[in-house]
Amino acid sequence: MARHLITSAIPYINGIKHLGNLVGSQLPADLYARYQRGRGNEVLFLCATDEHGTPAELAATKAGKPVAEYCAEMHDVQARIAQGFRLSFDHFGRSSSVHNRQLTQHFAGVLADRGLIREVSETQMYSPDDGRYLPDRYIEGTCPNCGFDSARGDQCDNCTKQLDPVDLINPHSTISGATNLEMRETKHLYLRQSEMRDELQAWIDSKTDWPVLTTSIAKKWLNDGDGLQDRGITRDLDWGVPVKRGTQDWPGMEGKVFYVWFDAPIEYIACAQEWVDAGKGTDWQRWWRTDAGADDVTYTQFMGKDNVPFHTLSFPATILGSGEPWKLVDYIKSFNYLNYEGGQFSTSRGRGVFMDQALEVLPPDYWRWWLLSHAPESSDAEFTWENFQASVNKDLADVLGNFVSRVTKFCRSKFGEVVPEGGSFGAQEDALIADLTARIARYQDMMDEMEVRKSAQELRAIWAAGNEYLQSAAPWTVFKEDPERAAAIVRLSLNLIRLYAILSAPFIPDAAATLKEAMKLDEMPWPDDVAAALASLAPGTGFDVPENLFRKISDEEREDWQGRFSGKRD
């Protein structure tokens, strides 16, 4: 049994996420976790809310609440919505946890002891109107790299370039809008990433199986311009992990906190400790410490492309720089952006369909299927209501739902709600089994390789193969002349429903659970032998007829939703 550690990029606490956020990290990570569990492997799937830094402070101020209270409330909201989409986290933690604070301070102390942190006196933007320094997202302006006019002080959302607030053109305070900003001197800590460039380069070069998107972004930041730069890891903020050198105070750093992008990835490790505290596990070290058994763990991270620089450079610099036996990521699956109806999704600007709204419109499987089957892997993708309607109606309703309905209802009308006996398989069944054996092998290969869209395409082809068989075998016609032959066709088709429940569970878990219940199944082991799997339901086994597995979306509904979700959010 293989062991898989899976983490999704942790979402910011500042509000409910949109569908683009969902398909860029959490949803494909859940797909992979469910698949690996289905194959009988041991999985630890972790995620958390990213609660520090300016996004949390700004959102709390806007909500008129203390930041700690706001974060606690929004963690519960995000956890509830994640459950609504059936995201199967083993634990959904919080970066504000005690464990993350202690680990962050520990790493800072170890890195300092190894000469990888330096103190820097620098000038930073200060707003007299606001009476404070303006780090990161407290300041916006024009990106000096691509000209995007709403770049943040830490990164440009348009070109993904990492920035410092002083880099911005025509900067202004996001608190007050003030432009009369001035430079004042302050002291901060920098992670000496440049000292680790060769080690990081060798590590990234060794990952020959990584997606081109991941490695191209990593190598861009390693080699472009002056190469890998040292990175500030502290900020002048009130909310965050207090700057300490291990358990000791850090002279000159009083009142400062660690930069959110230093402490946030460390939460992956802390989340496993929280998992143990919650009584869900017993030994976090066997997942994270190579001196405690993590050598045989395969660690996979899922994220949007904007998160790649931090996960390929900054976080690995922290892990490698510590010199301690921590587990490094084995594979980083990164995604491009999902756009919405000709524009961009934007949490801050309220543009697009958000996760809570989506669940108000339709059950999670509808969204899971469309998002995963259109995942933005090789390029950006775009959500349109027309495409969503067509995919739901053709794939889910016409192909899978129609097959289940036709088979179970025909069986009920001719043989009752039991698997019929009699008859034998012939050339048609042999051909179907051979076809499905090849298709399922390809499906498994695609899932193993985390090729999300190709996996969805192969799964749909597996569903379609059942429809084609049923249409060709035509048990409703055969029954008139040869009831036993019709019984054999129906028996195989009922076993196909069981097979579909197993294979489809990573994509559409609710529908898979409905089919499992309808077929009265206790367990659904992975079909390593397709012929044996298609004979698993013995004659005489009872079943129920699932009503309307998927319903179609009408033109009227689609038009209503297009108007309702026109890119504005109250």
Please tell me whether residue 112 adopts helix, strand or coil conformation: helix
Annotated ligand binding at 159? The verdict is: yes
Nearest alpha-carbon partner for 328 in 343, 339, 313, 340: 313
The pairing of beta strand 331-335 with beta strand 297-304: parallel
Question: What's the rounded Cα separation, in Å, for the pair 496 and 435?
Answer: 13
H runs (alpha helix) in 416-539? 427-448, 452-473, 475-481, 483-504, 509-518, 530-533
Question: What's the rounded Cα separation, in Å, for the pair 165 and 175?
Answer: 14
Please tell me whether residue 259 adopts helix, strand or coil conformation: coil
282: left (phi over 0), alpha (psi -120 to 50) or beta: alpha
Angstrom distances, CA of residue 250 to CA of 108, 121, 242, 253, 512: 10, 15, 10, 6, 54
Question: What's the rounded Cα separation, in Å, for the pair 405 and 409?
Answer: 6
Question: What's the rounded Cα separation, in Å, for the pair 34 and 282?
Answer: 21
Give 529's contacts (C-beta < 8 A, 6+ positions apart): none
Annotated ligand binding at 71? The verdict is: no
Instruction: Please check whether residue 156 is in contact with residue 146, taking contact to mean a CB–CB distance below 8 angstroms.
Output: yes
Instruction: Please check whether residue 353 is in contact with residue 371, taking contact to mean a CB–CB distance below 8 angstroms.
Output: no
Per the listing, tokens 């919505």 go with 81
Annotated ligand binding at 347? The verdict is: yes
Instruction: Please check whether residue 140 is in contact with residue 168, taking contact to mean a CB–CB distance below 8 angstroms.
Output: yes
Annotated ligand binding at 271? The verdict is: no
Q: Name the β-bridge partners of 44.
A: 5
Question: What's the rounded Cα separation, in Å, for the pair 104 and 263?
Answer: 6
The pairing of beta strand 338-340 with beta strand 381-383: parallel
* Relative orientation angle of helices 427-448 and 452-473, to the nearest 10 degrees: 170
Print burial letters for 74-109: b (CB count within 10 Å at least 16), e (below 16).
bbeebbebbebbbbbbbbbbbbbbebbbbbbbbbbb
Angstrom distances, CA of residue 167 to CA of 136, 156, 170, 225: 11, 11, 10, 15
Question: What's the rounded Cα separation, in Å, for the pair 307 and 154?
Answer: 12
- Single-letter residue type at 85: F
Nearest-10 Cα torsion for 39, 40, 41, 44:
100
Give 80's contacts (C-beta < 8 A, 6+ positions apart): none
Angstrom distances, CA of residue 321 to CA of 245, 247, 248, 290: 15, 19, 20, 15
HSE-up (13 A, CA, CB side) for residue 284: 20
Show binding-site residues.
143, 146, 156, 159, 347
Binding-site residues for ATP, in ranges, read 347
**Which residues are annotated binding-site positions for Zn(2+)?**
143, 146, 156, 159
